[in-house]
Structure 1
Amino acid sequence: MTRNPATDEPNPDMAAQMAAQEANEPAPLESGLEAQLGQVEAERNDLKDKLLRTLADMENLRRRTEREIADAKAYAVTSFARDLLGSADNLRRALESLPETARTEGEAALKALVEGVELTERELLKTLERHGVRRIDPHGEKFDPHLHQAMFEAPDAGIAKGLVSKVVQTGYKIGERVLRPALVGVSAGAPKAPSAEAGDTNTGH
């Protein structure tokens, strides 16, 4: 308690003034700064999170755009290439329709015609390959429903079960997509041998 220096007795007026001053003092500066600092940090974290999300979205957009551009370049000729497949098929049918003797023993004019058709077919296939179109000729390969379309299944002693035993029509791919599946026959394995009982019946025993 404040005392009067002259009498060393309590001074009630001075004590009252000091109490009034303490009551009117503002809140400590430290608490106000901490509150402001916490608000600034929260805003900074929010902006940082938004920035990271925006950067991630932009990166995904860039990758998607690059992929779409690459696909557009790779598959731009899809319709045109599909229209050319009929021409390639017709050239192959023309060559296969000729007997082997006509190719080896025929007249010079016929041999020249065959060579011209073969050359045209090779050039057409090379042109298709330059544009990413490749043949699917799966004879002897395992049947793949993503690349092949089974036309029939039949026993075949010369090839294992589940393998392509005959290619009815070659297929084509463009890039990683199937332009036309190969039409194939699938081996059912070697034919089953007649049973012993069936043999006895046929011989009359």
Structure 2
Amino acid sequence: MSTESKNQFEGNADAEQADANYTEETVEASEATGTVETENADLSGLELKELRQQSEENFQRSLRTQADFDNFRRRTRQEKEEFAKYASLKVIEQLLPVIDNLERALAAGKEGNDYEALLKGVEMIYRQLEQTLGSEGLKPMDTIGKPFNPEFHQAIMQVESEEYEEGIVVSEIQKGYLLKDRVLRPAMVQVSS
């Protein structure tokens, strides 16, 4: 064999040896990786099982929380409806004695002709009614002699007045009322022009 052929043969042999070594290393690496992958797969299976269990627990907790919230919302709505339904209970209880006194006054008026006593009784009942409503925060507006204010007054007429300047409430046609700090009914008034 010529030297050139021998070198070429040896070069081919070296290349084949290098290929064999590479293939062996690749097989060993993939076997090692396969073992690691199998171990990771087993570990992932345990972790996956734990994660699924946690997920199911969180889902159940979420369902319970949603049910609790729905129950709370329903209870709150029922309580509001019940409160609105019976909100006037306290005032009505306070008005019952007034109604009783009015019934007595009507019965007394039918039996006798003492109109002075009847008038005095009705005045007492009126004061009792004012006190009852006043205890709930109702108060009449003081309007005569005050400047006209559209938030509190409803002007139905303008009149000439020598006693008051322009824009002052001269007379009250219908009383206005405040409930605590809110206008319940504006006063109907005549205003000076």
Give the TM bin, normalised by the shorter chain: 0.3 to 0.5
Q: TM-score, normalised by structure 1?
A: 0.44
State the structure with more CA Rg.
2
